[in-house]
Amino acid sequence: MTIYIIRHGQTVWNLENRKQGHSDSPLTLKGIEQAGNVCDILKQENLDYQKCHIFVSPLFRTKQYAQIILENLKINKKLINEEHLIKEHGFGAWEGMTQDEVDKFFPGETEKRMQDRWNYIIPGGGESYEIISKRAEQFLKKFNFNNDKNIILICHEMVSKMLRYNLLNLSKKEALDLNHPQDTIYRYCNEGLASLKNSKD
């Protein structure tokens, strides 16, 4: 079994450096173009989508991204499953804010977070990386890794980090140092992890 981890494309709030979390903003034109690039990568994998489990975060930006991929690759929408365990890191009261706004309205909280990024819970119903790592672990435990079906995930950067943390048995520091460029798919299988990019890039 192979797992493909896809991050949604650029959104308006990505462009404005605003924290999204469980809130939403639509894809930009660049984000829509990135969905096409992801389709080109998947085409090179020659997947039989009837033999794949396809999961998408329930947030609007990932569902918008998934819809573009479905249409491009002619995948039956009945094959798509929404999965709350792969939602993005909740940013609570900080959602929609830039970092400067967070520092203005929540003085001292950024420093507290940086002192213990793994366990710091963001005010106003937010989450910590510890919480997301447990969500990712719970998601991965749902599946029998001897299953002959591949898994395609359309999710978010911070969830992607925590999925790879669990899959690769990384340290917490290694996990926090990860990123997930929007033009890249991560492919995990018995041989390990590979990053896939569009050959035209």
Q: Where are the domains of the chain?
A: 3-197
Is the pLDDT at 199 greater than 80? The verdict is no
> Topology of 3-197 in CATH?
Rossmann fold (3.40.50)
Give CA angle at 98 (93, 100), nearest 5°.
105
Provide long-range contacts, Cβ within 8 A and 24+ apart, for 113-118: 117/176, 118/172, 118/176
Percent of the chain whose pLDDT exceeds 90:
91
Residue 47 has pLDDT above 80, yes or no: yes
Q: Given strand 192-197, what is the order of strands in its sheet?
A: 80-82, 52-56, 150-155, 3-7, 184-189, 192-197
The pLDDT of residue 186 is 98
What average pLDDT score do residues 59-63 get? 97
Q: What is the pLDDT of residues 103-120, one digit of tens each?
A: 999 999 999 999 999 999
Model confidence band, residue 190 (pLDDT cutoffs 50, 70, 90): confident
pLDDT at position 13 over 60: yes
CB 59 within 8 A of CB 89: no
DSSP secondary structure string, 152-196?
Answer: EEEE-HHHHHHHHHHHHT--HHHHHT----TTEEEEEETTEEEEE
Band of residue 194 on the pLDDT scale cut at 50, 70, 90:
very high
Question: Which has the higher per-residue pLDDT, 200 or 174?
Answer: 174
Q: Span 68-75, mean pLDDT?
A: 96
How high is the pLDDT of residue 144?
A: 60
Catalytic positions, written as ranges = 8, 88
Specify the range with the lowest mean pLDDT, choosing from 31-40, 100-109, 141-150, 164-173: 141-150
User: pTM of the prediction?
Assistant: 0.95
Provide the pLDDT confidence category of residue 198 given band limits of 50, 70 and 90: confident
Nearest-angstrom CA–CA distance, 29 and 35 = 10
Cβ-proximal residues to 198 (8 Å cutoff; 6+ apart), any chain: 37, 40, 41, 183
Which pLDDT score, from 0 to 100, does residue 145 have? 55
Q: Is the pLDDT of residue 98 over 80?
A: yes
Closest listed residue to residue 5, CA positions, set 190, 198, 196: 196
pLDDT the model gives residue 201: 47
Distances (CA, A) of 132 to 52, 146, 154, 194: 24, 25, 16, 22
Report whether pLDDT(8) > 90: yes
Residue 9 predicted with pLDDT over 80: yes
Mean pLDDT of the chain: 94
d(C-alpha 15, C-alpha 27), whole Å: 10
